[in-house]
Amino acid sequence: MLRNALRSIVTVTALGLGLAFASPASAQVGKGLIDLNSAPETELAALPNVTPAIVKGLLEKRPFATIVDANTYLMSQSLTADQATEIYRKAFVHVNLNTATGEEILLIPGAGKRMVREFAEYRPWKTWAQFDREIGKYVGADATAKLAQYTFIPMNPNTASDADLMTIPGANATTIATIKKGRPYASAAAA
């Protein structure tokens, strides 16, 4: 279970290579936001503007590498941009703050062109405190928290501090001890 949790939320830098894990349903996201790549059929069916045919297509086409890929599929199902945005207020494919494209960021409800610039300007993102400080000065704490729920900040499990590891949803002292005991991780498969 820990291996799956790590694989789904952490980015490992091993042997000089960045090995990204897929983002999970709960990877550093706000309450109630589900991951289009892992949500069960019942949760997908409950999304606004989603038909049984769309749910079937989502399940067949997963995993989506990015929210842009998911958006392309949804647009092919005759949804409007506004209808897709309604879905994204409930479910999303989370974006890596350090690699997200402008196209990905613009699909985050409420992000807009300014956030495309700001997200890129402060790279590399290392902590949520940094994100809260830098983005918060433009949009305030509430809007910053809403933006954060669509994103994740990768961390290296070999060097992450206890405080950073505690940002993993559901993490506790046992989780941190287990992660630290497994160090060093040579690859994503080892985590």
Mean local confidence (pLDDT), 174-181: 92
Could you give the C-alpha distances from 98 to 8, 53, 95, 125, in angstroms and in order?
Answer: 16, 34, 9, 6
Which residues is 20 bridged to in the sheet? 11
152, two tokens: 């994740």
Query: Considering the entire predicted model, what is its pTM?
Result: 0.77
Residue 173 pLDDT > 60 = yes
Bridge-partner residues for 65, per DSSP? none
Q: What is the pLDDT of residue 32?
A: 64
Query: What does the pLDDT read at residue 23?
Result: 35
